[in-house]
Chain A
Amino acid sequence: MWAEQLKGHLDALLLGVLEPGPLHGYAIIETLRAKSDGAFDLPGGTVYPALRRLELAGLLDGAWSEVSGRRRRTYRLNRKGRAALASERATWRGFAQAVGSVLGQPA
């Protein structure tokens, strides 16, 4: 749902989901779905390459760990990722405020 609108915001959303603490891919997708009340029901094939790209960009640290008796790759937001998230958040607030001020009031 909202695939087109999501383009360009996926990285910020993934950073936001990981802000409270490290998660593995499946949990990231579930959290994203739950936090958006089902609006962002993203396929794994969209999320996993994006997580790897964020890791390559140095915004996330990925590591294999034991979760519920299974070896899973968990992703953690690092300092650079937190700074990137803060910047994305500020940009989004400015953008949302500007769009809201134009579209918010019916004529």
Chain B
Amino acid sequence: MSEESGPVAAYVTELVSTLPVSGTSHDIIREVRDHLLTTAAAAQNEGLDRIAAEQHAVQEFGPSNELIADFRAVVVATDMRRQARRQVAFGVLLAVCGISVFRFIPIWRGQLSEMLPAPPIAFIAGATVLGPSLALLRLSYLPGVYAEHRWRAWLDRASGTTRVLFIVGLTVCAGLVVDQIVQLGGVPHNSLVVGAVSGLVFAAHVIPLATQRSRAHAGLEGDVA
């Protein structure tokens, strides 16, 4: 059944315009649209015309303004968990790289003969990348986070803060790691900037960029049509 214009299309368009742009929203909207079309098809089989059947499906589903808050909470929590998982994975990767180039390789090459205190990168990575990401991941598993609407604004802020910390931390740490690798290789160049740029690129890969968000939005609008 085509719903290019009609109550179902209007309902879905309203959801698209109100929910945050993300893959989770896309999934939810696809699922809702499928449900509405199935309900409308069943109503049409019982003798209603297309518009009346779609109206019945939309009314049966419930007013969109009452659902938005529920769906939004789910979208925020799901996206937050997804973001936290990716950040933690990159944090662990960063820790492995850092420990390797600042400790294991120098010890293996005989450049470090005694245990030294942790280098500054360990504190930077802990404070900006791993610590906040683990906290965000833990937060995303608390039932209150997605069951109670009052947490949503607070979560948005927490998620945004860890995102900024992650980008800054990964940029700085990648600069230090790459510079150390270059130093270990005996190349007499300061490679902080090269490393920092690489880190920024990695961070941008982990955290969705504005362009990716726009593409996701375009995909949602395509679903409505």
Contacts and interface: CB of A to CB of B under 8 A. Distances in A.
**Do chains A and B interact in one complex?**
yes
Interface of A: 25-26, 43-46, 48-49, 52-53, 56-58, 70-73
A44 B39 contact: yes
B215 interface: no
A25 B61 contact: no
B144 to A, nearest CB: 11
Given A26-B38, A44-B60, A44-B62, A73 B31 contact: yes
Interface residues of B, number: 28
Nearest to A50: B70
A26 B34 CA distance: 9
Secondary structure type dominating chain B contacts: helix
Given A25-B31, A57-B143, A70-B34, A52 B74 contact: yes
A11 B88 CA distance: 31
A73 B70 CA distance: 18
A53 B31 contact: no
A56 B66 contact: no
B32 interface: yes
B92 interface: no
A45 B28 contact: no
Given A53-B146, A53-B147, A70-B34, A43 B61 contact: yes
Nearest to B75: A52
12 contacts: A43-B61, A45-B61, A46-B62, A48-B31, A52-B74, A52-B78, A53-B74, A56-B81, A58-B141, A71-B34, A73-B27, A73-B34
Contacts of B60: 43-44
